[in-house]
Structure 1
Amino acid sequence: MTKILLIDDGATQLHDIGPSLERDGHQVFLAQDGPAALKIAWQESPQLVILNLLLPTMDGYETCRRLRELGIPFILVTSPIHDEHGVIRALEMGADDYLRYPLETPILIAKIRTLMRRNKRQVANGPVIYNDGNLLVDLESRKVQVGDDLIKLTPTEFRLLSILLRKAGRVVTHEELIKEIWGTDKNDSLGSLKLYIHYLRQKIEETPKKPHYLLAEWGVGYRFREIRNEMMTSA
């Protein structure tokens, strides 16, 4: 079941498509503005956000940017048919695709299915489950456990961990990680990357200052430790 977050102030038809998405087998969350959406995104880690660019309080572009910083896998924006500049701006700020009003529900559902197939292919690029007896990471169910304790990761923390785990044993450069997580290659994201590595180590490492799993290659990037075959399984 795909978790989908709809962000709309109720003034457009986007607000009314929730039942159609639920009938298609998705779990739908609703938010009427940017701040409420960010709170739900942090709590529920949706796989997809559908966002009306014309929002009150915090505009759709800023909301899109902040959702991408949270590590939401896919963002689909909706826009009035005449607003070509707005669509381009949203795509530059991290949106994956767009639809224009009036929305056609069958086309929207087809786009969602396409994005979710892309997500499954990405998950298939590496181990689905890692388990070394201490750390358990299930990429499909988004479950992380250390010993007997379930660990709550933010969307960005989980995305960072999953990227490194899929490429375990090899160095992933700062530039690669920044581009995959935030959709940009700007150097000003390096500080955010280091901060999220710090957060992850605090949650999964027994001794964060002497990490066992998340290893730094100074000045280059990070890598997840080497994995023996018996530590990982695929679906």
Structure 2
Amino acid sequence: MAIKVLIVEDDSQIRGLLGAVLTVEGFEVSTAVSLSEARALLAHTAPQLVILDLGLPDGDGGELLPSLRAASAIPVLVVSARHDEAQKIALLDAGADDYLVKPFGVGELLARIRVALRHRGTAVAPAQVAYKVDGLSIDLEQHRVERDGVAVHLTPTEFELLSHLVRKAGKVITHRQMLTDVWGADYAEHTHYLRIYMGTLRAKLEKDPAEPRYLLTEPGIGYRLAAE
């Protein structure tokens, strides 16, 4: 079961980057752009970790901390461009687990997320983000796919499907799980979507799409990316 993370951030570029990174790492991500939207999502989605910006259009993100702490002990990581030490101390005393000053590195953010979750008894291993077998090279962090040293262009949906397979290389992912993760719960039965997209992925990645080396079918169950 994926760990649910709520990102409260009004900057669309930062919000998109954080969402993409955490999705690649295997988290289930929801986002809010304001205090009011964050409160609504907290009430209905039960996230297991919150990444909280301070400068929101309808108030200061720190206003969420008292109600969050009154209701639960979920980890809260504050991210802000503000460097004021007194404010950092006040937010940590109010219940924030950590405070990252923008700009920060993705690796540092992920490490601090793992620490915060570990302190709550949830161990999170770094997700697999690279794959290299028989001439096929995939780097999810760099968003790069190569076959025999030649770059392969994938559509966003193709790349998202491939990302799920890379993160669970060697393991079977069911049709329902892939459809739900990529297209949403409303598409859980639309297996023709998978057939079409897996066909295009094989055409781009396999030397012989009719006899796939990497993208393997588990009849009646789902798909698996060959581990070696």
After TM superposition, the score normalised by the length of structure 1 is 0.48
After TM superposition, the score normalised by the length of structure 2 is 0.49
Larger radius of gyration: 2
Which structure would you say has the larger RCO, counting Cα contacts within 8 Å and 6 or more residues apart?
Answer: 1
